[in-house]
Amino acid sequence: MSTISEKVLQKIKQGQIKPLPRWQYLLSLGGRWFGFGLLLLLAVCSLGLLWYFWSDGPWFVYGHFGFGRIFGGMPLLLLGLIIVGCCFSLG
Amino acid sequence: MILENECQKFSDEALVERVLTKSDYYACLVNRYSEALGRYVVRLGANPVDAEDVLQEVFLNAYLHLNSFDKNLKFSSWLYRIAHNQTISAFRKTNVRPTVELTDLEPWQEMARESCPGVKIDQAMLSQKVALALDRLDQKYREVLILKFFEDKDYNEMSDILKKPMGTIATLVNRAKKQLTGLVEKELLQ
């Protein structure tokens, strides 16, 4: 009866299994940080837009055409998406 | 084939380096951890018959992802994490509720005795009640108690294995003890 180490080594050799290369993990990690950075940048832009709409943004223009609610809610929606995205990215 | 004497010369981390150049060295790591991990998988609730298959999957998975091992962590913690995830995923695949083995209950009995100091009951009855209580214990509580009392892991290692902050681990351990005490007391009253 073979031991578990013999069975594992046999499977490794028979299946010609090799450890996945390190660069794949580095790429995945880099991708995550890049995504996180991008989301952070979007968050900053979104906050800027939010501030702009709430302070002296062109509410009257959108209001005039009846788009006020849609466009006014956009930064909030974007911000929400970014927060969710950041949580996923960190998780 | 690598001899056991040769394996003993190297630390886990040094062996990982060697495995990456010569797969035969992996036998050293498998032999070093197979017994402990086998017990851990069974304690988590795996059927002893299936435990060997789960264990083989754990070691194959660990080998495949050997390059992702972070040398700042302990190799044992990394391996326990893989074993934990693999066992949970095996439960999900088979859709079977994990059950506790009736053997090896000494640490639980000790804990139950500590929790109910005034109650005097015989050993066999306590074993039975503890086993029943354990079966009802939530999985998240059971796994922290197993790591703490059976595997002798400290909070730092538990945090690495379960991927949870140390504060959360401490809270889980306290809640687990309370739940187990409550369940044992309930069983004793019945």
The band of B181, judged by pLDDT with boundaries at 50, 70 and 90, is confident
pLDDT of residue B96: 63
The average pLDDT across B59-79 equals 91
B20 touches chain A (CB under 8 A): yes
**pLDDT, tens digit, 9 for 90 and up, residues B131-173:** 778 778 888 898 898 899 888 899 999 999 999 999 999 999 9
Q: What is the ipTM of this complex?
A: 0.73
Say if the Cβ atoms of B27 and A6 lie within 8 Å. yes
B85 touches chain A (CB under 8 A): no
Residues of B in contact with A4 (CB under 8 A): 30, 34, 38, 52, 55-56, 59
**pLDDT, tens digit, 9 for 90 and up, residues A61-72:** 555 555 556 666
Average pLDDT over chain B, rounded to an integer: 83
Instruction: Report the C-alpha gap between B52 and B30 in whole angstroms.
Output: 12
The average pLDDT across B56-74 equals 91
pLDDT of residue B108: 62
Share of chain B above pLDDT 70, in %: 81
**pLDDT, tens digit, 9 for 90 and up, residues A8-40:** 999 998 888 899 999 999 999 999 999 889 888
SS (H, E, C) chain B: CCCHHHHHCCCHHHHHHHHHHCHHHHHHHHHHHHHHHHHHHHHCCCCHHHHHHHHHHHHHHHHHCHHHCCCCCCHHHHHHHHHHHHHHHHHHHHCCCCCCCCCCCHHHHHHHHHHCCCCCCCHHHHHHHHHHHHHHCCHHHHHHHHHHHHCCCCHHHHHHHHCCCHHHHHHHHHHHHHHHHHHHHHHHHC
Question: For chain B, first and last CA: distance in Å?
Answer: 57
Say if the Cβ atoms of A4 and B56 lie within 8 Å. yes
A26 touches chain B (CB under 8 A): no
- This prediction's pTM: 0.74
pLDDT of residue B76: 93
Share of chain B above pLDDT 90, in %: 38
Residues of A in contact with B52 (CB under 8 A): 4
Q: E strands, chain A, where?
A: none
The average pLDDT across B101-118 equals 59
Residue B94 pLDDT > 90, yes or no? no
> Which of A5, A6, A32 should be substituted to probe chain B, the one whose Cβ sees the most B Cβ atoms within 10 Å?
A5
- Surface-to-core class of residue A70, CB atoms within 10 Å of its CB (0-12 exposed, 13-18 middle, 19+ buried): exposed
Say if the Cβ atoms of B30 and A8 lie within 8 Å. yes
The average pLDDT across A46-51 equals 77
- Please identify among residues 28-47 of chain A the ones whose CB lies closer than 8 Å to any CB of chain B: none
**pLDDT, tens digit, 9 for 90 and up, residues B5-15:** 788 888 999 99
The answer for residues whose C-beta is within 8 angstroms of residue B88's C-beta and 6 or more apart is B44
**Three-state DSSP class for A70?**
helix
Residues of B in contact with A11 (CB under 8 A): 56, 60
pLDDT of residue A59: 55
CB of B86 closer than 8 Å to CB of B58:
yes
Separation in Å, CA of A26 to nearest CA in chain B:
9
pLDDT of residue B118: 55
C-beta neighbour count of B181 within 10 angstroms: 16
C-beta neighbour count of A29 within 10 angstroms: 11
User: Which residue carries 């998406």 as its tokens?
Assistant: A81
The average pLDDT across A60-88 equals 66
- Surface-to-core class of residue A11, CB atoms within 10 Å of its CB (0-12 exposed, 13-18 middle, 19+ buried): middle
Residue of A88 and B6 predicted with greater confidence: B6
Residues of A in contact with B31 (CB under 8 A): 3, 5
Separation in Å, CA of B51 to nearest CA in chain A:
11
Instruction: Report the C-alpha gap between B157 and B162 in whole angstroms.
Output: 9
pLDDT of residue A1: 46
